[in-house]
C-alpha cells in the first residue's frame, strides 16, 4: 500500500453511461474500496484530458496514471499492435476475445509493457462499419470519392484508399462538427459510439461492413504501477479484470439497443451481401504489411488459426 493516499487520474473518451464508462467507474470504486481509500482512481470522461494519441503519450510518461485505449491509435506507438488494425482480421468478437485472453494477448501486452504501458485487461469495441451522409454502401465502389474520417493510424488511410475513398485522420471529438459542416462525408465506428457521439443525427446511412473488430486495453502507466506494492497491484489487477467482464457484458447487451435507437431516429442500416468484395480490396494492404514486417507474419497466422 502506498504510504500516503494517492489519487490516480484516468483517461476515457466516452460519455457517462457508455459501457466502458460504467465499467471504468466500477473499476475506480472497487480499487478505492479494497485499498481502504489509499488509492483513489478517478476517471475523466469525454476525453477532457486530451485526445487519444496524446493521452496514450501522457500515460506512457506517467503524467496520467491509466486509461482505456483503443489499439488503433496505439499502432503508431507500439508497432506490433498494428496487426490488430488489419481489416477483417478477426471473424467475430468472440474470436477476438479468445485471442486476446490467451498467449497472443500476452504477446501484445508484453509489447505494450516495453513502451511503459501495463495492460491490466482487454475490453471489446464490437465491429466498426462505415456511415455517411449521402447513400448506403453496398459494394466497395460506393465509397468512391467519399471523405471519411479515420482514427490516427496509417493502416486506416490505406484501407479507405483501397476502397476509393479519401481518408482524413482526425480526433474523435472533431467528427460531429466536421460531419455537420460537410468537411467530411462520413466516418466508421461501432453502433454504441455512432449513437453516443450523435453522429447518427447527421450521417443517416450506416452500412454494416464490419471491417474492424478491434480490442481496447485498460492500461496503467508503468511508473504508477511500479510504485504500488504487490498486494495493491493484485487489487488493481482484479478490479481491472472485473471491469473487463462487466464491459463485455454491457457491450453485448447495449449494442442492439444502440442500433434500435439510431434506426428509430431515422438512420437507414443496411447489411452487406458480399463482404468478400471488400476483403479482396484489402489483400494488397496485407501483402505490403507482411513485406515491411516479416516478423509479424506468424502472429497474423496464429490469430487466424484461433477458432
Q: From the CB of 150, what's the least distance to ligand BDP, in Å?
A: 8
β-strands 205-213, 127-132: how paired? antiparallel
CA neighbor of 259 nearest in space, from 212, 170, 305, 193:
193
Q: Which stretch binds ligand BDP (CB under 6 A): 160-168, 188-196, 227-235, 287-295?
A: 188-196
- Pick out residues in 74-113 that bind ligand BDP (CB under 6 A): none
Q: What angle do CA 239, 241, 242 make, to 5 degrees?
A: 65
Is 24 one of the binding residues for ligand BDP (CB under 6 A)? no
CA neighbor of 159 nearest in space, from 82, 90, 86:
86
CA neighbor of 21 nearest in space, from 246, 253, 212:
246
Is 13 one of the binding residues for ligand BDP (CB under 6 A)? yes
Q: Of 90, 172, 225, 251, which one interacts with ligand BDP (CB under 6 A)?
A: 172
Q: From the CB of 146, what's the least distance to ligand BDP, in Å?
A: 17
3-state class (DSSP) for residue 247: helix
Q: Which stretch binds ligand BDP (CB under 6 A): 34-42, 82-90, 185-193, 283-291?
A: 185-193
Q: Which stretch binds ligand BDP (CB under 6 A): 34-42, 58-66, 189-197, 277-285?
A: 189-197
Site string for ligand BDP, 150-169 (x = CB under 6 A): -x------------------
Which contiguous run of DSSP H or E holds residue 300?
helix 297-305
Q: Which stretch binds ligand BDP (CB under 6 A): 92-100, 187-195, 232-240, 259-267?
A: 187-195
Q: Of 190, 207, 232, 247, which one interacts with ligand BDP (CB under 6 A)?
A: 190
Q: From the CB of 170, what's the least distance to ligand BDP, in Å?
A: 9
Spell out the residues 6+ positions from residue 260 whose beta carbon is closer than 8 angstroms to its own.
none
Q: Of 70, 85, 158, 247, which one interacts with ligand BDP (CB under 6 A)?
A: 70
Is 193 one of the binding residues for ligand BDP (CB under 6 A)? yes
Would you say 158 or 193 has its CB closer to ligand BDP?
193
Would you say 32 or 68 has its CB closer to ligand BDP?
68
User: Dmax over Cα atoms in the chain, in whole Å?
Assistant: 61
State the number of binding residues for ligand BDP (CB under 6 A). 10
Task: Please give the backbone phi and psi of residue 269, each rounded to the nearest 5 degrees, phi first.
Answer: -105, 130
CA neighbor of 88 nearest in space, from 270, 282, 289:
282
Is 58 one of the binding residues for ligand BDP (CB under 6 A)? no
* Residues in the chain, total: 307
Distance CA 90, CA 300 (A): 10
Is 219 one of the binding residues for ligand BDP (CB under 6 A)? no
CA neighbor of 109 nearest in space, from 1, 208, 244:
244
Is 189 one of the binding residues for ligand BDP (CB under 6 A)? yes
Q: From the CB of 296, what's the least distance to ligand BDP, in Å?
A: 23
CB 164 within 8 A of CB 140: yes
Amino acid at each position: 500500500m502506498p504510504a500516503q493516499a494517492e489519487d490516480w487520474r484516468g483517461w476515457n473518451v466516452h460519455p457517462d453511461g457508455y459501457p466502458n464508462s460504467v465499467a471504468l467507474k466500477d473499476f475506480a470504486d472497487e480499487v478505492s474500496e479494497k485499498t481502504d481509500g489509499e488509492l483513489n482512481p478517478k476517471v475523466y470522461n469525454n476525453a477532457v484530458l486530451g485526445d487519444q494519441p496524446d493521452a496514450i503519450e501522457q500515460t506512457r510518461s506517467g503524467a496520467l496514471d491509466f486509461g482505456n485505449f483503443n489499439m488503433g491509435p496505439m499502432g503508431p506507438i507500439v508497432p506490433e499492435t498494428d496487426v490488430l488494425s488489419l481489416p477483417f482480421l478477426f471473424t467475430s468478437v468472440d474470436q477476438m476475445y479468445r485471442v486476446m485472453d490467451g498467449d497472443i494477448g500476452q504477446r501484445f501486452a508484453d509489447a505494450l509493457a516495453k513502451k511503459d504501458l501495463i495492460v491490466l485487461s482487454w475490453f471489446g469495441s464490437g465491429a466498426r462499419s462505415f456511415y455517411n451522409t449521402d447513400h448506403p454502401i453496398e459494394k466497395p465502389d460506393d465509397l468512391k470519392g467519399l471523405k471519411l474520417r479515420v482514427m490516427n493510424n496509417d493502416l486506416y488511410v490505406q484501407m479507405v484508399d483501397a476502397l476509393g475513398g479519401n481518408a482524413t485522420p482526425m480526433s474523435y471529438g472533431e467528427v460531429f462538427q466536421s460531419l455537420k459542416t460537410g468537411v467530411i462525408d462520413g466516418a466508421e465506428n461501432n453502433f454504441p459510439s455512432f449513437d453516443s457521439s450523435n453522429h447518427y443525427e447527421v450521417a443517416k446511412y450506416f452500412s454494416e461492413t464490419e471491417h474492424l473488430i478491434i480490442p481496447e486495453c485498460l492500461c496503467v502507466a508503468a511508473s504508477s504501477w511500479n510504485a504500488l506494492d504487490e498486494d495493491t497491484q493484485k487489487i488493481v489487477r482484479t478490479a481491472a479484470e472485473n471491469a473487463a467482464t462487466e464491459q463485455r457484458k454491457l457491450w453485448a447487451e447495449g449494442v442492439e439497443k444502440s442500433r434500435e435507437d439510431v434506426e428509430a431516429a431515422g438512420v437507414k442500416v443496411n447489411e452487406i451481401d458480399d463482404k468478400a468484395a471488400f476483403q479482396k480490396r484489402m489483400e494488397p494492404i496485407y501483402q505490403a504489411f507482411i513485406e515491411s514486417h516479416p516478423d509479424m507474419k506468424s502472429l497474423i497466422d496464429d490469430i487466424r488459426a484461433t477458432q
